[in-house]
A and B are shown apart, each in its own frame.
Chain A
Amino acid sequence: MRYHSQRIAYAYFLVAMVLFAVQVTIGLIMGWIYVSPNFLSELLPFNIARMLHTNSLVVWLLLGFFGATYYILPEEAEREIHSPLLAWIQLGIFVLGTAGVVVTYLFDLFHGHWLLGKEGREFLEQPKWVKLGIAVAAVIFMYNVSMTALKGRRTAVTNVLLMGLWGLVLLWLFAFYNPANLVLDKQYWWWVIHLWVEGVWELIMAAILAFLMLKLTGVDREVVEKWLYVIVATALFSGILGTGHHYYWIGLPAYWQWIGSIFSSFEIVPFFAMMSFAFVMVWKGRRDHPNKAALVWSLGCTVLAFFGAGVWGFLHTLHGVNYYTHGTQITAAHGHLAFYGAYVCLVLALVTYCMPLMKNRDPYNQVLNMASFWLMSSGMVFMTVTLTFAGTVQTHLQRVEGGFFMDVQDGLALFYWMRFGSGVAVVLGALLFIYAVLFPRREVVKAGPVQAHKDGHLEAAE
């Protein structure tokens, strides 16, 4: 850590890790509700648990992105963050808003109130005051990081990262537009949900990966930047009109079926490019970085994102297929592995990389950290495969044979039991990860011949 203000990231990551633990724990509770549907039905109904599960995921990933930016930007711009105070205020707003959301969802104190009550739009259930708080915090954040970037060195990593973050913030504004017509409501609703995860978040992902590759492999910046621009171009090219794959059966004109099918089929390209990028950089890299766990997470991120977002997304993106699979467990399978691979692994990779540096220590607990990667990832992959089978059976029984929803759900019980088991692995893996990065223990991997170059000269690790 070269700049004092990079330490702001530490607080963001801490809050993110707490929410991460909450998110997966609620996920496990929901996994249990699937096999035992009356569990907590009065205290924590399934729809409320689902809101907490999805909302806390998005918020902790956002905090991860903000923390990542506060860590990466000073190093790229070669100067301190414009105003650390604003960064703390921003975090405060987020913590307050998150607490408000949890209380509002659990107790529904201001039912129907325009400002204080929950809004009822899937994933955008937050009360208006929280939405406004997020907008204010986002503006503070963008001001702070843009000022930092403008005054400092401009790099492709900074440019792409800021482009992604500006897109994230501007698209959030569509959360405030809630037309009475349900079709229009959903049309714009996807501009937040889809254009985030399949648009601007991919830019953030590419920028963070590029930073990690620069640090971990020591490949020339020039090479990394070329890849970065290609990834960005293919992500935007496919992702923006790819929004059409959400417009199939919700009342929008039928031509969206072709626009959505064709463009979203190409959404696999940037994920393939990111995977190739990461592996080529590691092969080309001359640097023997001591933080192997960060490398495992980075590579795992690109592979699982390729399969979760790319392959599993393509599985049901063609409208002829989606006609049958829409809203079945196939969607759940894709959603879990895509978010896990693309964004969870990404933030955990950066956390793994930054934590030792921010604490000014050697990368400790590497073996534990890597064990958590394998435990969590195999749990998630198993869950994805289980849900894919469940979704295939469900599609056939319900959509082809015309069975009743709840009858079919009964028939899927075995899959839901297996999914619960994989959920246990994910939660244990998550707790293990948090333990490994936050709590120092005996196991320290010696920093070996750090960054020994072929010509024999040694370079300090960072």
Chain B
Amino acid sequence: MRLQDLPGEPIMWVLIASELLVFAAGITAMAGVRLTDPAGFAAAQAQLHGWMAALNTAILVTSGFFAARAERACRRGDRRGARVGLALAALGGAGFLAVKAVEYAGDLRAGLGMESHPFFTFYYLLTGFHAAHVLFGIGVLALVAIRLRTEEVQAGAAFWHMVDLVWVLLLPPVYLLG
């Protein structure tokens, strides 16, 4: 197995691997710190709005579906289908960010800032970094939609699935486990 045997751009896979490692390190660090104060973490976590995270999970996974459709359409040579798929995927990303913004605003109104508790430091860092990737991912989807080259669309879709995957990995430790 060589790097260049993977579909899409090899450098994208290096980026994806790096991203996953960083988020894995962040989640592990959070789990480690949680051990020092399980009660405090549980109390802090109870103040989050889990239903917004559930809504966002549905939105992002659906948008991942459209990205996969776009990649297939592009391989078939269906340029219109590819563009529609990429646009819907990006729209999902925008919807995700809108919900996330409402959630952050609610948290901040409730006085829950980055320094309120170690849990919230991780909460803002991990979900914030993830949201930044959603924003960046929308840009990537828009870029690959211009020329619609199969390799590039594959790379864009791969990045988008990574953003999707990271969210699904973040969901349990941040919102559910405790």
Contacts and interface: CB of A to CB of B under 8 A. Distances in A.
A262 B26 contact: yes
A80 to B, nearest CB: 33
A230 B25 contact: no
Interface stretch (B10-18, B71-79, B95-103): B10-18
Nearest to B126: A258
Contacts of B4: 226
Contacts of B14: 230, 233-234
Given A226-B3, A255-B114, A233 B22 contact: no
Name the prevailing secondary structure of the A interface residues.
Answer: helix
Nearest to A227: B3
B18 A258 contact: no
Contacts of B115: 253-255
B47 interface: no
A237 B18 contact: yes
Interface string A256-296: 00110111011001000000000000000000000000000
Contacts of A263: 22
Interface in B1-29: 3-4, 10-11, 14-15, 18, 21-22, 25-26, 29
Given A253-B114, A254-B115, A255-B121, A262 B22 contact: yes
A253 B124 CA distance: 13
Interface in B63-83: none
A453 B21 CA distance: 42
A258 B29 contact: yes
A121 to B, nearest CB: 29
B29 A266 contact: no
A237 B15 CA distance: 8
Name the prevailing secondary structure of the B interface residues.
Answer: helix
Contacts of B125: 255, 258-259
A364 B91 CA distance: 66
Interface residues of A, number: 18
B18 A234 contact: yes
A271 to B, nearest CB: 15
Contacts of B15: 233, 237
B148 to A, nearest CB: 23
A166 interface: no
Interface residues of B, number: 18
A242 to B, nearest CB: 11
A385 to B, nearest CB: 29
A266 B22 contact: yes
Nearest to A269: B18
A228 to B, nearest CB: 11
A229 interface: yes
B67 to A, nearest CB: 22
A262 B114 CA distance: 17
Interface in A236-256: 237-238, 253-255
B131 to A, nearest CB: 15
Contacts of A254: 115, 121
Contacts of B25: 262, 265
B119 interface: no
Contact of B21 (A258, A259, A266): A266
Interface string B21-52: 11001100100000000000000000000000
A99 to B, nearest CB: 44
A254 B21 CA distance: 22
Nearest to A231: B14
A282 to B, nearest CB: 19
Nearest to A265: B25
Contacts of B167: none
Contacts of B160: none
A261 B18 contact: no
Q: Which of A237, A254, A258 has the most CB of B within 10 A?
A: A258
A237 B114 CA distance: 24
27 contacts: A226-B3, A230-B3, A230-B10, A230-B14, A233-B11, A233-B18, A234-B14, A234-B18, A237-B18, A253-B114, A254-B115, A254-B121, A255-B115, A255-B121, A255-B124, A258-B26, A258-B29, A258-B121, A258-B122, A261-B29, A262-B22, A262-B26, A263-B22, A265-B25, A266-B18, A266-B21, A269-B18
Interface of B: 3-4, 10-11, 14-15, 18, 21-22, 25-26, 29, 114-115, 121-122, 124-125
Q: Which 6 A-B pairs have the closest CB atoms?
A: A262-B25, A237-B18, A255-B121, A233-B14, A230-B14, A229-B11
